Every structure is written in structure tokens, then in C-alpha cells.
Structure 1
Amino acid sequence: MKRTEFIRTTMTFATATALTPLASCNMDKKKIGAEVEPPMLRKNWAGNYIYKANNLHEPETVEEVQVLVKKLKAQKALGSCHCFNNIADSPMNQISTKNLKGVLGIDEEKMTITVGAGTKYGDFAPELHQKGYALHNLASLPHISVAGACATATHGSGVANGNLASSVAGVELVTGNGDIINFNRDTDQDMLNAVVVNLGALGIITKVTLDIEKTFDVRQDVFQNLTLESLKTNFDAILSGGYSVSLFTDWQNEVVSQVWVKRKVDDQTQDLGSDYYGAKAADRNLHPITELSAENCTEQMGVPGPWYDRLPHFKMGFTPSSGKELQSEFFVPRERALDAILALEKKKEQIHPQLMITEIRTIAADKLWMSPCYLQDCVAIHFTWKQNPEEVAELISMIETELEPFLYRPHWGKLFSTDPSLLTSRYDKFHEFVAIAEELDPKGKFKNDYLNLNIYI
């Protein structure tokens, strides 16, 4: 099936608030290994994809995961259902990690925390802060599972901040044979680099160990109406002006509608004033889409708060519900990002009618084999679309054509139509990764349509 056909035919429609973050899907609990009747339609969080796996299993322990993996044939780990494509689907069985959660230990000497794979960042961040520690960064919403976020190289922002997977110090993996293997940087950093961003191809991650650091506070200042001319002149300075910076644009009027600047707070932190490279300070909390209520957004207006309540765009305590959106995202080398943005600016009249908002963020280089930021600092251009699959499919294809000269890499968990041979050519370690996948999953239990199209080509 062609990529554009997949985008069109796998969309369903949900009725709910635009750009509302959420983290769970409708899942019925199944006994370990039991064959069950096909459940009610289960969708990803945005409602655009219906899972095709007939059986859903929800093990309570790692040992139960091993039993399932040994017994079942085609199977796939399912996290918080936040991907927009079929990466977490299976022809037969999904194994939810939602019960493999909680803090399993904090090593103050090594400065690490170990959590169950299904743990959502928002579940343990406050506790970590109370103990005096922090993670280096968080994604725009905290309702995503640790293992799933790392497996797809999900990220926050910041010129010096790697994606969430870059903080992984170790993982516990159940392989296709049902065996447990632990990978950690103390014994083999190169293998850890191979398995962290794993796309679900290597097995089921059951535990993740993350680097931590001393806790810190963050203030968040928002500015409006940054001109395109100022962005062109001050691109690096604007994106480097905080610990984490996000640009939001609807590609209209040659203006970036909002600039979110998140900065660590210490004795040297000064007020940014009312002007940020020509953008004017907001006089109230804002939603990334200015017309929407900011009720669910994290506190702005320069009010300091703990890292976990400022680095995300959306509040930890907000209970998410159905969304009605599609998402795609493309990473380009940072040194070529401004030219890539200007290329898309020329297509604004095509983009705008189907767009909710575009977010532009920076991510530091890493050494993770299948990360879009492998050995290159990147700028990610993210599109939140209206849920109109026919029109969006055409736009994604057009955007990929425009970004082709800039050697883009798409986000693994969002919508893209990149030719598989082109996609895999962008990853220097692609063939080594496939060899490891075939070694850890010799019977192909974790293969699915997504991997057969993108990886096993």
C-alpha cells in the first residue's frame, strides 16, 4: 500500500477539542494468554487509527510478559496510544505495558531512576522533584509512557537538550524467545545506543533506567507576533534564548504567532522584559492556538515553578480526553533549518487551510542509532492538522518534497509518506539495527505492517 493511501484509509473521526492532549486508549483487561472475542473498536488517543489486533493482554508483572511472549505468535507492545500510525499495532495480539508502572528505585550514587516501562512521565515527576531530583527535559505533554516515548525518539526542546531517549542509562528487554536481557551503558554503551530507539522491533521493554540531576525551577515567558524578518536575522539567538524554546506559527502574515521561552531559575535569571527580538510579551497565559483557552496549559507570565510543571506545555494534573487532530513532524539538520522553514513559508497558502498549528523546536545530537537526531543537532518542524485525511495526505507528501533537499527525517510515531528506501538511507546504522532485530526476534513475533514497510525491506 502506498503511503498516501495508508494515511487516507487509516483515519477515523472523533469529535472533541482540538489540540487536547491525552494519554490512554479504551482497553479491556484480558487474562494472560487467553484467546478472546474481538474487543470493541480500540483507537489511538487522537481517534484517527483503529487497532486491528483482535486480542489485548494486560500483564501485571514482567514474568507474565515472558509467558505471553513465549506463548503468542504475532504480538506488539502497546504503550499510551499516542502514536498516529500503526507502529504499535499487530496482526493478532497487543501486550499493554500500562500495569508495568511505578518507581522501582533511585540510585543516588549513579544519579539514575528506574521505572516500569508503562509509567507515564507525569506519574513520577512530582515524586522525583520532592526527593530533590529532575529529568533533563520533558515532552510537550507528560501523559506519555517512558518506554514508548523513548522507542520513538520523542522529544522536548532546547539547543543543548537531547530527546527523551538520550537520558536512558539502561533497559530491561523481553526478547522474542521470552528471555530477559538487560542493556546498560556500564557494560555496553554501543548496544544500548542500538536498542533504546527500537520502534518495537526488538521485543518488549519492561523497565527503563533514566539519568537524573538536581531539581530546578523554570519560568516560562511567552511573546507574540515575531516577524519573519526578525526570525531570519536572529534565528540562532531566538532558539538559544532559553533552556527550552518553542515557536508556534500558522504560516500567516509572515509572523510567528507565539514564542515560548522556558528558562532555569537561579540568582542570575533576569526578566526578559516586554520585547523578545521584536515579539511582544503576552499579557495573559496563552494556548499554542491563541483562540483556545489556556486553562490546560502550564503557568506562564514568568511565574517560577518546578521543572515538571513548566517544561511541558500542558499541565500534569489535567486528565486528557479524546482529541481530533492528525500530527506529522520532520527533523532537519539545525544548520539548514532556517532555509527549510523559508521553503515551507512559500507553501503557506496550501498549508494553512488544514493546519491547527505548527511548532518549531530544537533537539541536540545524540548517538542513538535510529534517532532522527543521530549525530546531528536538529530542528523539528511539527504540524498539528485538522482531521481531514485526504487533504492532509496530500500536504504531507508536498512538505516532504519541499524538505527533501534538507535531508529530513520524519518522526517515527507520526504520519509520513517517505519512500522506505529513502527513509532507511538516512540512517547510518540501519543495517546493523536490522541485524540486531533479527537476532533478538528470530521468529519475527514483533513484526507488523509498519516494520515490514519501513524496516524489513
Structure 2
Amino acid sequence: MARNWAGTYEYTAPRIVTAATVDDVRRVLAEPGRVRALGTRHSFTDLPDTSGTLVDVTGFAPEFSLDEAAGTVTVPAGIRYGVLALWLHERGWALRNMGSLPHINVGGATATGTHGSGDGNQVLSAAVSALSYVGADAEVHEVRRGDADFDALVVGLGAYGIVVSLTLDVVPAFRLRQDIYTGVSWAAALSRYDELTAAGYSVSVFSRWEEPSVGFVWVKTRVESDDQLVADTLLDGIRTRGDVSPFDDGDNATEIGGVPGPWMLRLPHFRLDAQPSFGDEIQTEYFVDRADAAAALDAVRALGDGIRPHLIWTELRTAAADTLWLSPAYGRDTAIIHFTWRNHPDDVAAAVARIEAALEPFGARPHWGKVHGFDRAAIERVHPRLADARAVFERLDPDGRFTNAHLERVGVREARGR
């Protein structure tokens, strides 16, 4: 019985094949039937599932190719960010940003528009400068930044082939510290939202929609020296002393408390060698124009009492605009509203419906790999390049080998008979 990492989705695919090489993937594509890629299983829906064969790409050897002159590294699609980060740091290089969990694989995260945080940081997909995939013809194809289909294929949801490697932009290694601020009021946060999110290289607010405080404000500050000071106050909140964490059991969190450290041990919230997040959970997430952040947050805030019994945490973040057609930050600087739910499927479904109704006036886009209620019409309203991306996928895979019920339901692929 194969499930996602949290145990809250069970795959229905009748066959799972672990690929260790590109030729392994090509052999699967040389056979008839539908095929989908499977990574570290961090999707919460049937997005990666199939009625045919799932190809697990996490079995590739962790072999990387660093091009210092170009400022890039080429990696297998199934590699975890945390493994890559350690390798890069040893050579003096870094990724500009990472997600909360270093456990996620590069191919799955970039294909779904997953993100870190920061006003000046784009989603992880924007670091992709090239990718290689095995197409429906069982041949290897490469697309590079600037090519005609590139902006359609990076956040491609596995809709056109099995991505086997990616080339990512890298930067010189840097250091960060993490500090927690408490006591920031909703009044201050909503009236001075831009000031709040600009407080660090990356800022996350952990909230349970309680009053009057937003909860914990987790600020990651890039430091040029380990004795660099940070502010003791943020809006009307104060910096905590010691290793205060928004998690009940902080043993799986990266070091907080203002202790400087290397980028790969501070950008993620969770340690690679520990349980990610909380486990046994459901996740949903929405992306709105940053200009609408205060109004959108106020709309969700009104639902707080109803959703709180089923909520572990909400995390509020930001991301900079990009040009990738199906990116949740396509064409607009973005405010992100993330929900980590208890495993209460029916109650969560009802809460999600209320949240989506509250966010509809703001053109909220859902995270592709997390639970949401959007259908094709709803996706078309918020993703202006959906039809263009769908046309690319249909052209590259006219027989629908990489489609599934989920992609057809949300309009990423055209509907077909099963």
C-alpha cells in the first residue's frame, strides 16, 4: 500500500517502478499505457497518480555537475533539496532559497511551483535554467531558459513527460540567523504588512487566527558577520530570547534563537535528519496578489473560530513574481496563505470551501499539489496562461500518456476517456 509521506493519500496506480537511470525511465515509456512520475510523495492529492505506471525517480544516484562559470548545478530530478544543499555548501555555493522542508525532491517541488519565502525570493521553480525529460516517444528532450516552451514546462505538473534532470541557478554560500518575534498584533500586521514581510531575507508568520496577536513571526536574516545585530522589536512585537519555536516539539526544527549558521541549516524550517512538519496531516495553500494581502487575510481571519479546531498552523509568506505560466506567482508579487490541517478530511473539506469562497474576490491560486476545490473553470479564472500551457502539453503528448483524472479535472490536460 503506497501512500504520500503524511499517510493521508493512498495511490491507486496498479504498478510502481523505481528507476535508477534515464534508460530505466525510457524502458517504461517504451511500453504501452499511461505513466506518471513519483518523487518524495509530498503531494496531498491524486495529482501524481495514474491508472498505469508510476515511475519513482528518487532512486537515481546523487551525482551533481557544478558549472561555476555559469553559476549553475545540474541534478537528478529525484534528489532531495537537503542532500543537494549539503553538497553545494561544501563547495562554497548555495541555492538562493529553499522550502520549509529539505526533504522534498527538486523535480516535484519545481513542477508544482513550491516555494520558500521572502519578498525578493521567487518560488523554487524560478531557479530552473534547464531541464531534461523523457517524452511520450521514450526519447530524452532538453529545454533551456529562453526556449519557446520553457515557461510552460518548468511548472509542468508532469503533464508532458518524466523530468529526469534539472539545472538550477546557484549563488555563493551565505549565512543566516533565525529569530522569533511575538506580540505583533493583527492591527499592526495588516496596516503595515509590507514592513512586516520586509523584516528579513525570509519571513514567515505562524498563526492560528487568534486575537489579538498574529502568533509567531519567524524572521530569517542574512548576516555578513556572526556578530551582526538585529532589531529587538518588529512593529508592536518583541524578539524572544532563547530557542522559542512555533512547534510544540521543536526537536525537528532548524536552530532558532538568533544563532548564525550556514544557509542550508537556516533556510528550511525543519532538519533533514528529522520528521518533516507534523505528519498525519493535510495541507492547503493559496496565493494572492501581494497588493491584496491585507484584505485577503482579513477575509480569512473572519473564519478563524470555525477553522481553528481542525488547524495545526497557518503559515503566511511572500514570493516575488516570475514568468512561468503555471507558477502561482506568475506575473505578480504574491502573498501566500498556507494551512496545515489535522487529518480530519470531511471537516477540512468544509473549511477549504469556506476559505476559497472568502478568497475568490482576490483571484487566489491554489497550490497545485495540495488539497483544494478548484475545477477547470475556477483555474481558468485565476491562471491566465492555462490554455497556452495546455496547448503545449497536448502538442508534446497528443495521445495523453501523461494525463490523469486530476489534470483533466483542473484543465491542465484535455478530457479523455479512461
Normalised TM-score (structure 1): 0.88
- What is the aligned counterpart of 1:328 among 276, 284, 304? 284
Tell me how far 1:450 sits from its aligned partner. 0.6
Moved more, 387-396 or 416-425: 416-425
Distance in 1 (CA, whole Å) between partners of 2:18 and 2:278 is 22
Aligned to 2:189: 231
- 2:373 aligned to 409, 412, 417, which one? 417
Counterpart secondary structure, 2:332: coil
Distance 2:277 2:305 in 1: 31
Q: Distance in 1 between matches of 2:32 and 2:322?
A: 35
The residue that corresponds to 1:16 in the other structure is none
What residue number does 2:64 align with?
Answer: 104
Could you tell me how far apart the structure 1 residues matched to 2:322 and 2:277 are? Answer: 33
Match of residue 126, structure 1, among 80, 86, 96: 86
Distance 1:356 1:322, change over 3 A: closer
**Residue type matched to 1:359 in 2?**
E
Structure 1 residue 208 displacement after superposition: 0.5
Q: Is the 8 A contact 1:101 1:118 kept in 2?
A: no
The one-letter code of the counterpart of 1:191 is D
**Mapped partners of 2:36, 2:166: distance in 1:** 18
Judge conservation of contact 1:286–1:293 (CA < 8 Å) in 2: no
Deviation at 1:253, TM superposition (A): 1.5
Q: Is the 8 A contact 1:173 1:206 kept in 2?
A: yes
2:22 is aligned to 62
Do structure 1's residue 201 and structure 2's residue 195 form an aligned pair? Answer: no
Secondary structure, in 3 states, of the residue corresponding to 1:255? coil
Could you report, residue by residue, the CA deviation over 1:377-429 in whole angstroms, capped at 9, with x for unpaired residues?
00010001111111110110010000001010000000000232121232222
The alpha carbon displacement at 1:92 in A equals 2.0
Match of 1:148 among 102, 108, 130: 108
1:95-144 deviation line (CA, Å, top 9, x unaligned): 00011242331001101000001000011211201101000100001000
Question: Which of 230, 253, 260 does residue 211 from structure 2 map onto?
Answer: 253
Instruction: Report if aligned partners of 1:105, 1:113 keep a CA contact under 8 Å in 2.
Output: yes
- 1:365 is the counterpart of 2:321: yes
- Superposed CA deviations along residues 68-106 of structure 1, whole A, max 9, x for unmatched, are 112141111001100000111111210000112423310
Q: Which one of the candidate residues 162, 172, 177 is aligned to 1:214?
A: 172
Hey, what's the Cα distance between the residues in 1 that align with 2:206 and 2:315? Answer: 5
Name the counterpart of 1:381. 337
Q: Which residue of 2 aligns with 1:73?
A: 33
| Inter-partner Cα distance in structure 1 for 2:171 and 2:177 | 18
Alignment correspondent of 2:128? 168
User: What is the alpha-carbon root mean square deviation over aligned residues?
Assistant: 1.5
The superposition leaves residues 200-247 of structure 1 with CA deviations (integer Å, 9 ceiling, x where unpaired) of 101000000000011100111111121111112321011011100000
Query: Quick one: distance in 1 between partners of 2:66 and 2:302?
Result: 50
- Partner Cα distance (2:90, 2:267) in 1: 17
Q: Displacement, 1:320?
A: 5.0
Q: CA deviation at 1:268?
A: 10
Equivalent position of 1:182 in the other structure: 142
Q: Which of 243, 255, 262 is the aligned partner of 1:285?
A: 243
The change in CA–CA distance for 1:278 and 1:243 in structure 2 (over 3 A counts) is same
Listed one character per residue, the Cα deviations across residues 164-217 of structure 1 (whole Å, up to 9, x for unaligned) are 0000010001111111110012xx344211100001101000000000011100
1:260-292 CA-to-partner distances (Å, cap 9, x unmatched) read 110111159842243221222222323333xx1
Q: Distance in 2 between matches of 1:322 and 1:382?
A: 14
The answer on whether the counterparts of 1:298 and 1:309 sit within 8 Å (CA) in structure 2 is: yes
Counterparts of 1:1-40 in structure 2, within 5 Å, are none
Contact 2:244 2:257 survives alignment (8 Å) = no
Q: Which residue matches 1:433?
A: 389
- 2:202 is aligned to 244
Q: State the distance in 2 between where 1:101 and 1:391 align.
A: 41
Q: Distance in 1 between matches of 2:246 and 2:405?
A: 34
Which whole-Å CA distance do the structure 2 matches of 1:205 and 1:52 have between them? 22
Q: CA deviation at 1:54?
A: 1.1
Alpha-carbon shift at residue 319 of structure 1 (Å) = 5.2
Aligned counterparts of 1:315 and 1:189: Cα–Cα separation in 2: 36
- Contact in 2 for aligned 1:58/1:96 (Cα 8 Å): yes
1:338, distance to aligned residue in structure 2 (A): 0.7
Moved more, 310-319 or 371-380: 310-319
2:47 partner letter = I
1:117 is aligned, of 77, 86, 97, to 77
Query: What stretches of structure 1 of length at least 5 have no aligned partner?
Result: 1-40
With normalisation by structure 2, the TM-score equals: 0.96
Q: Per-residue deviation at 1:313?
A: 0.3
For 2:232, the equivalent position in structure 1 comes to 274
Q: CA deviation at 1:256?
A: 1.2
Query: Aligned equivalents of 1:396 and 1:231: distance in 2?
Result: 24
Taking the aligned partners of 2:32 and 2:210, their CA distance within structure 1 comes to 51
Question: 2:405: which partner in 1?
Answer: 449
In 1, Cα distance between equivalents of 2:203 and 2:349 = 29
Runs (4+) of structure 1 exceeding 3 A deviation are: 267-270, 319-322
Who is 2:307 aligned against? Answer: 351
Distance 1:155 1:342, change over 3 A: same
Equivalent position SS for 1:71? coil
CA pair 321-433 structure 1, distance change in 2 beyond 3 A: closer
Note if contact 2:149-2:392 (Cα within 8 Å) is conserved in structure 1: no
Q: Percent identity?
A: 38
Separation in structure 2 between the aligned mates of residue 405 and residue 321 of structure 1, nearest angstrom: 31
